[in-house]
Structure 1
Amino acid sequence: MMISLPKACALAAACAVVLTACGASPSTGGSATPTASVDVGKASSVTPLDEATTARAEKQGSVLLYTNADADQMAPITKAFEAKYPAIDLRVLNMNDAQTFQRYATETATGVRTADVVMATDSVGMLDFVAKGHVLDYTDPNLENLPAYARLAPGVVAVSEDPMVAVYNTALIPKDKQPKNLASLAKLAASAKGKVGTTDISNPQSFGAVSSYVTENGDAGWKHLEALGPNTKVESGNGNLMQKLAQGEYQATYFVAGNVRALIEGKEAAKILDYTYLTDGTPLLPRAVAVTKKAKSPDAAKLLVNFLLSVEGQEAACDGGFTPYRDGVDCAYGLPAVEAVVGADHLILGGYPKDIVRNKTTIVERWKKAYDR
């Protein structure tokens, strides 16, 4: 059974339901190919698996992926992977991270076919998944050319480093008035109570953004969030948040998943919505991928991970709105493009925050107090 993320996540059908305007690309995304000063790994030729593993993968014939990325995001990856390996079908089930981990546990307990590969953003959930012995400690040939922050845990590696951004309704806040950092957003929220929104910290992406931001900025970061909290409305997920923003219920939103960039730029939504990276600290959440211990097609799973970490695979991921980080990848949404806007010093990039599992309860409770939840 296919489990899809809410279609509202497509910005209310690119806002066509709300307004039928066609728009140009906003300028906040940075240039396509700036020179990066953050570590983007080493440029490398193709680093494929050995021929024997590839042959076994093709004989296995399919690979099953559970992912929190929606169908539109995954479509370019599926197309590129199956074009490169026509003997292998990539089956994708779209679900949130909690469903991924629970479904895998249930299926393995009952002996039912389960995921060969999982892709998730929930750092605590993925580390728990590793601790329970569900991840194969697989070392892909690409790893030697990847930056250190891409290596998240044994057998777990980042496919992309997705930014959490601010998004504005341009009819209500013109581009030259849009805050570029959380301190300025807090001032806006105080003067426009109820017109600024974010997602609840129970959403793994929201928790990832908050935990990364306060880990990096300490009490100063908490000060900004505590100023925002009383004047911010909270939604369960990005779908509701973006729909209400497009309809004018919100003027501004923050800590929004970066895949909205591809839904805004160059599309109808561009005259209604505009996004920006936060110059006082843009959290980049690693979207982790891992081969499972109970994979029915383990070699096909390794081949998929190998493809996802390659320059070719990262370029396909870019077409779906992911944020590739590898050197040699030409992508308007890539890590160098984010850095070109905010600067290397304001990228909150470093894999999983230190002690994130131990600190989760403290962070969640402090956030709830600030946002009166």
Structure 2
Amino acid sequence: MMISLSRACVLTAACTVVLTACGGSTGTGGSATPTSSVDVGKASAVTPLDSATIARAEKQGSVLLYTNADAEQMAPVTKAFEAKYSAIDVRVLNMTDPQTFQRYATETATGVRTADVVMATDAVGMLNFVSKGNVLDYSDPNLKNLPDYARLAPGVVAMSEDPVVAVYNTALIPKDKQPKDLKSLAELSKSIKGKVGTTDITNPMSFGSVSNYTAKHGDAGWKNLEVLGQNSGVESGNGNLMQKLAQGQYQAAYFVAGSVRALIEGEEAAKVLNYTYLTDGTPMLPRAVAVTKKASSPDAAKVFVNFLLSAEGQEAACAGGFTPYRDGVECAYGLPAVEAVVGADNMMLGGYLEGIVKNKPEIVTRWKSAYDR
């Protein structure tokens, strides 16, 4: 999902709010502050592509990427890649997942150049994209050094495993009163009706969060969502959600894209906002990448994916606010940092849910009923 939230947007919103009661950092006693003090494990071997493929990639000279990540997120990744492979330029087009899949279909039908690599959070959209024959069944040599959940579908791999978080306006809900789990937030929402926000189920981040949370908790999870549904405002995307939260229209928000973590830690935003992982279940949503079947620069695309899965690429991803999952990668937002807060059993990690394409209509219908949409 594209996050329509720029660094300037959040900080401007934060600065326009008079918050004389606020101050300090994002740290809370059991909250999910970033930390690099956890054990990140032993670095696994990195397996580059063969020299012939790299030579062809350099001759092709460029990679066209369609991605749901914004420009600031991608900047550290593209800079690090181009520093390593100076003969290959990366062109990044930012769009929503549905726009990515539709644009690819239109461009391939008309014969114009299209994406060499696609990056998306929408599990159902990506699986449908694969089923239509749009993905090259490329198996990167790094996969043998990565967890099994790194492979999402034929030709599709996770470049990061991004959590969703709860975010609070610290002037309106003091840090020691901020719920650390969704069940407690649901209970609090009864007393602050309309002051809690989330994003619509049509947003892939929201759908991924709901589907993963309810897969873990079943009817008990749905009961929490039904309570929240009667008391929550619903926004189309994280940009509106975060602006209203910073301005005080919302006191709390949940199932927020984890990429806001880096933004919240800015000096001004930290006076207004605080985030936490959900200790009763933090969905870890894979951000998938794939080389397209109609890539004009297929070898350059493979080199780019190979870089994303390397330790160097995962470190660059961390700098952009993504959540790397490769062992040995130092990152304040990495999987070990999340696990240190919620525990391994409460990290909803494991690739795409089984049957998610078939089950989507039922999940969407039940969510709409809970939220009166």
TM-score surpassing 0.5?
yes
Aligned twin of 1:363: 363
User: Which residue of the other structure, out of 32, 35, 53, is the alignment partner of 2:39?
Assistant: 35
What does 1:67-78 align with in structure 2 at a 5 Å threshold?
67-78=67-78
Give the deviation of 1:29 after TM superposition.
2.3
Give the deviation of 1:69 after TM superposition.
0.1
List gaps (5 residues or longer) in structure 1: none
TM-score by length of 1: 0.95
Measure the CA separation in 1 of the matches of 2:15 and 2:106: 39
Aligned twin of 2:161: 161
CA contact (8 A) 2:74 2:320 kept: yes
Q: In the TM superposition, what whole-angstrom CA distance separates every residue of 1:174-207 from its partner, at most 9, and x where no partner exists?
A: 1100001111101111000110000000001100
Measure the CA separation in 1 of the matches of 2:304 and 2:8: 26
Q: In the TM superposition, what whole-angstrom CA distance separates every residue of 1:196-239 from its partner, at most 9, and x where no partner exists?
A: 00000000110000001111111111111111110011000000
Give the direction of change, closer, same or farther, for the CA distance of 1:226–1:127 in structure 2 (3 Å limit): same
Residue 65 of structure 1 pairs with residue 65 of structure 2 = yes
What does 1:230-245 align with in structure 2 at a 5 Å threshold?
230-245=230-245
Aligned length: 366
Give the deviation of 1:44 after TM superposition.
2.4
CA contact (8 A) 2:15 2:269 kept: no
CA contact (8 A) 1:159 1:324 kept: yes
Measure the CA separation in 2 of the matches of 1:222 and 1:16: 33
Q: In the TM superposition, what whole-angstrom CA distance separates every residue of 1:309-345 from its partner, at most 9, and x where no partner exists?
A: 0010000000000000000100000011000000011
Measure the CA separation in 2 of the matches of 1:324 and 1:280: 22
Aligned twin of 1:102: 102
Task: Kindly provide the amino acid, as one letter, of the partner of residue 347 in structure 2.
Answer: L
Aligned twin of 2:351: 351
CA contact (8 A) 1:124 1:357 kept: yes
Give the deviation of 1:15 after TM superposition.
3.5
Partner SS, residue 333 of structure 1? coil
Q: Could you tell which deviates more after superposition, 224-233 or 116-125?
A: 224-233
Measure the CA separation in 2 of the matches of 1:208 and 1:7: 19
Aligned twin of 1:252: 252
Partner SS, residue 29 of structure 1? coil
Partner SS, residue 230 of structure 2? helix
How well do the aligned residues superpose, as a CA RMSD in angstroms?
1.7
Partner SS, residue 190 of structure 2? helix
Partner SS, residue 284 of structure 1? strand
Measure the CA separation in 2 of the matches of 1:336 and 1:5: 24
Q: Could you tell which deviates more after superposition, 260-269 or 110-119?
A: 260-269
TM-score by length of 2: 0.95
What does 1:111-150 align with in structure 2 at a 5 Å threshold?
111-150=111-150
Q: Could you tell which deviates more after superposition, 220-229 or 277-286?
A: 220-229
List gaps (5 residues or longer) in structure 2: none
Measure the CA separation in 2 of the matches of 1:30 and 1:347: 16
Aligned twin of 2:27: 26
- Percent identical residues: 75
Measure the CA separation in 2 of the matches of 1:351 and 1:18: 40
CA contact (8 A) 2:43 2:329 kept: no
Give the deviation of 1:350 after TM superposition.
1.1
Task: Kindly provide the amino acid, as one letter, of the partner of residue 29 in structure 1.
Answer: T
Measure the CA separation in 2 of the matches of 1:46 and 1:146: 10
Give the direction of change, closer, same or farther, for the CA distance of 1:290–1:182 in structure 2 (3 Å limit): same
Aligned twin of 1:13: 11
Q: Could you tell which deviates more after superposition, 343-352 or 9-18?
A: 9-18
Aligned twin of 1:312: 312
CA contact (8 A) 2:196 2:252 kept: yes
Aligned twin of 1:174: 174
Measure the CA separation in 2 of the matches of 1:23 and 1:267: 9
CA contact (8 A) 2:167 2:275 kept: yes
Q: In the TM superposition, what whole-angstrom CA distance separates every residue of 1:347-372 from its partner, at most 9, and x where no partner exists?
A: 11110111000000000000000000
Give the direction of change, closer, same or farther, for the CA distance of 1:108–1:9 in structure 2 (3 Å limit): farther
Give the direction of change, closer, same or farther, for the CA distance of 1:25–1:177 in structure 2 (3 Å limit): closer
Give the deviation of 1:13 after TM superposition.
3.4
CA contact (8 A) 1:64 1:92 kept: yes
CA contact (8 A) 1:5 1:94 kept: no
What does 1:171-320 align with in structure 2 at a 5 Å threshold?
171-320=171-320
Measure the CA separation in 1 of the matches of 2:225 and 2:293: 40
Partner SS, residue 345 of structure 1? helix
Give the direction of change, closer, same or farther, for the CA distance of 1:319–1:146 in structure 2 (3 Å limit): same
Aligned twin of 1:92: 92
Measure the CA separation in 2 of the matches of 1:255 and 1:68: 17
Q: Could you tell which deviates more after superposition, 21-30 or 289-298?
A: 21-30
CA contact (8 A) 2:45 2:145 kept: no
